[in-house]
């Protein structure tokens, strides 16, 4: 392990990858067998149990060290080959990171569009609910008017019971309209 200011260079293998709230957590085992843990926002294109050289930014705090991933390269047995392939691998890694970032940004845009669509559908359902309550109130109110338009001596027992039921329904519609108003749903309740 080499240290330059707060950058350390570790040769080792990734033995475990875990998803976390902030990205991904990696367990790194160096050549001496010491295990370290570091975070990265993006999932790295790393094969488990294969030797790499990691450049980690070390952040001390409260008796802990936080390793922030900077870059890695595959360890080659031939140093000359390593020197020749390093820029290409680094370029390919950066290109892959850019593609992953574009893909994730595209996914975020798609999710935002879906949220907007769901919000619109939710508002349409609220409007439909308000319209249904208004329409049913109108229909019941019409029935009340028809019954009340009859002379009192011509009202049958069914008319009287139906009138009570309709007036109870109108009362329920008034109560429901108040609840819907609190939720921002407009209704129109008809009165006789």
65, pLDDT greater than 70: no
Stretch 87-96: mean pLDDT, rounded? 69
User: Among 41, 42, 43, 37, which residue's Cα sits nearest to residue 10?
Assistant: 37
pTM (two decimals): 0.41
Q: Count CB neighbours of 75 within 10 A.
A: 15
CB 52 within 8 A of CB 11: yes
- Flag whether pLDDT at 83 surpasses 50: no
The SS3 assignment for 81 reads helix
Residues 98-129 pLDDT 10s: 788 888 888 889 989 999 999 999 888 888 88
The interaxial angle of helices 157-182 and 79-149, nearest 10 deg, is: 150
Is residue 180 within 8 A of residue 129, CB to CB? The reply is yes
Output the six-digit token pair for 10. 């570790």
Compute the average pLDDT of residues 93-98. Answer: 76
pLDDT 10s digits, 142-185: 989 988 999 988 889 998 999 999 999 988 888 888 888 888 88
Query: Is residue 130 pLDDT above 80, yes or no?
Result: yes
What does the alpha-carbon distance between residue 133 and residue 183 come to, in Å, rounded to a whole number?
A: 14
d(CA 11, CA 33): 11
Q: How confident is the model at residue 82 (pLDDT cuts 50, 70, 90)?
A: very low
User: In the predicted model, what is the mean pLDDT of the chain?
Assistant: 81
Task: Calculate the CA 47 to chain-centre distance.
Answer: 29
Residue 68 β-bridge partners: 39, 57
């Amino acid at each position: 392990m080499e240290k330059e200011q707060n950058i350390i260079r570790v040769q080792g293998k990734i033995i475990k990858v875990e998803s976390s709230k902030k990205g991904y957590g990696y367990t790194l085992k160096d050549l001496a067998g010491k295990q370290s843990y570091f975070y990265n926002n993006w999932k790295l294109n790393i094969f488990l149990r294969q030797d790499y050289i990691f450049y980690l930014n070390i952040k001390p705090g409260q008796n802990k060290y936080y390793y922030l991933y900077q870059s890695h390269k595959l360890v080659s047995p031939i140093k000359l080959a390593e020197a020749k392939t390093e820029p290409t691998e680094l370029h390919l890694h950066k290109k892959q990171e850019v593609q992953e970032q574009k893909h994730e940004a595209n996914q975020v845009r798609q999710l935002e569009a879906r949220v907007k669509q769901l919000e619109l559908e939710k508002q349409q359902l609220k409007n439909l609910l308000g319209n249904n309550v208004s329409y049913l109130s109108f229909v019941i109110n019409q029935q009340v008017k028809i019954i009340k338009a009859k002379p009192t001596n011509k009202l049958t027992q069914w008319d009287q019971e139906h009138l009570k039921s309709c007036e109870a329904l109108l009362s329920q519609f008034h109560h429901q309209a108040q609840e819907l108003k609190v939720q921002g749903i407009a209704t129109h309740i008809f009165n006789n």
